[in-house]
Structure 1
Amino acid sequence: MALILVTGASSGLGHDTAKALADDGHKVVVHVRNPARLTDAGDAARWKGVLLGDLTDLDEIHGVARQAAAYGRFDTVIHNAGVMRSPEAVTVNTIAPYVLTALMDKPGRLIYLSTSMHRTGSTDLSRLAAGTASYDDSKLWVTALALALASRWKGTSSHAVDPGWVPTRMGGPGAPDDLTAGHQTQVWLTTHHDVTPHTGGYWHHHQTQEPHPAAQDERFQSRLVRALENHTGVPLD
């Protein structure tokens, strides 16, 4: 069975993803900001381990990476954690996935949560350092990061997933999409070996879609990685 890390797994899509994988027999490590929110029956016995850290804080992101190192190399890391409010959005949605990816042992598979709203994000990377990035910006950037990593490391595949607008705490009770379908693509990408494309897909409900053109633009991807390296002081390689 696979060793899997899911960030932002105390509730919503992250919890649903982690629970589905654990119930299938996989060894699942969950990241949460507040362990008191792991309140579902059976949670304590379900997980291989729990990582603690506030992903709005760069020092705590480093702390999560150190905790993860105790488990060795993960087969899959699912970067699920996300927030909509600014200025925290860029730290949680883009910087945290980047820093964790750079600091952790390279897994077999990387999965990053995106959204259709990434298509209205900006390619103005000066917003990263200025702290003025919007939610849409942060999701464009993490989508570009996912696709940039698709061919960077031998033995590691990388995908971005749009789970839809689902009725989670972040999505709100009026969200129109299917909550169950919201985590199924992540689970499928984690557990199946016959995925096409093998790497570099932008997925929505088991189907690939065309992302924002910048997400596939190698020049923008390179600028993004350099900006993240400069902003965090953490090199990708």
Structure 2
Amino acid sequence: MTVTLITGANKGIGFETAKQLLELGHKVYIGARDVERGEKAAAALGAHFVQLDVTDDASVSGALATIGSAEGRLDVLVHNAGILGTESADGPTALRVFDTNAVGIVRVTEAALPLLRKSSNPTVVTVSSSAGSFWAVNNPDRPEFHLSLALYSASKSAATMLTIQYAKSQPGIKFNALEPGTTATDMTAAFGIGRPVEESARTVVRLATLGPDGPTGTFHDETGELPW
């Protein structure tokens, strides 16, 4: 059975990804900051819950220790936790956005590496965004061209770069990032846009279920590999 951890999985794309992977036979651990919401989501899906705040070292270490004690390994890690940070473009907001969207990836990855190395097919997927792609934000034909979310976009550039650098430094583990598509979640509710989470989660699931010879160090959307 494939053991999978998804951060920020009590709602949105993370929740739907958990649902689809469970249907494929994965043993899924839902990571969430809020214990009540996380436990409720896990119970609704038939998944397992670990309290995991990607901005807190002790929380991250505790979550991976719990999984390690129960499973002895981790096969798939999905970095899904993220925030927009649209309140204001000031120092405290920037620190919070980067701590969640970029530094959180480092915290969780570093804590997970010992368990991933014990897997026969270790895979890491980062839910990033084309809002952090130079190609997309400078392309008038792309929706990102008109998107003004400086902190979010910059933090997603960092998230994608971290994914690529981990792919280079950890050749035995597949690391890939993705643009999930504009999705109707709590993050986009204020904009009134987005497609169903079921559609966007399919790309996450595809990258989370790659075989041993699958690609690494790439940036994808539902159509395939993207420029970055």
Structure 2 residue runs without a partner (length 5+):
86-92, 117-121, 137-149
Is 2:103 the counterpart of 1:95? Answer: yes
CA displacement at 1:199 relative to structure 2? 0.9
Is 2:177 the counterpart of 1:160? Answer: yes
Is 2:219 the counterpart of 1:202? Answer: yes
Is 2:182 the counterpart of 1:183? Answer: no
How does 1:123-134 map onto structure 2 within 5 Å? Answer: 134=151
Could you state the TM-score of these two structures normalised by the residue count of structure 1?
0.74
1:109 maps to which residue? 123
2:132 maps to which residue? 118
Q: Percent identity?
A: 27
CA displacement at 1:19 relative to structure 2? 1.1
Distance 1:134-1:155 versus aligned 2 partners, 3 A rule: same
AA partner of residue 69 (structure 1): G
Q: Distance in 1 between matches of 2:45 and 2:16?
A: 16
Q: Does the residue aligned with 1:111 lie in a helix, a strand or coil?
A: strand
The structure in which a higher percent of residues are helix is 2
Q: Does the residue aligned with 1:171 lie in a helix, a strand or coil?
A: helix
Structure 1 residue runs without a partner (length 5+):
122-132, 212-237
2:76 maps to which residue? 76
Alpha-carbon RMSD across the aligned residues, in angstroms, is 2.4
Q: Distance in 1 between matches of 2:44 and 2:198?
A: 23
2:25 maps to which residue? 25
AA partner of residue 54 (structure 1): D
Q: Distance in 2 between matches of 1:116 and 1:19?
A: 25
AA partner of residue 155 (structure 2): S
1:19-54 deviation line (CA, Å, top 9, x unaligned): 1111221111110111322435x726711x311033
Paired residues in the alignment total 197
Confirm or deny: 8 A CA contact 1:167 1:175 kept in the other structure: yes
Confirm or deny: 8 A CA contact 2:34 2:51 kept in the other structure: yes
Could you state the TM-score of these two structures normalised by the residue count of structure 2?
0.77
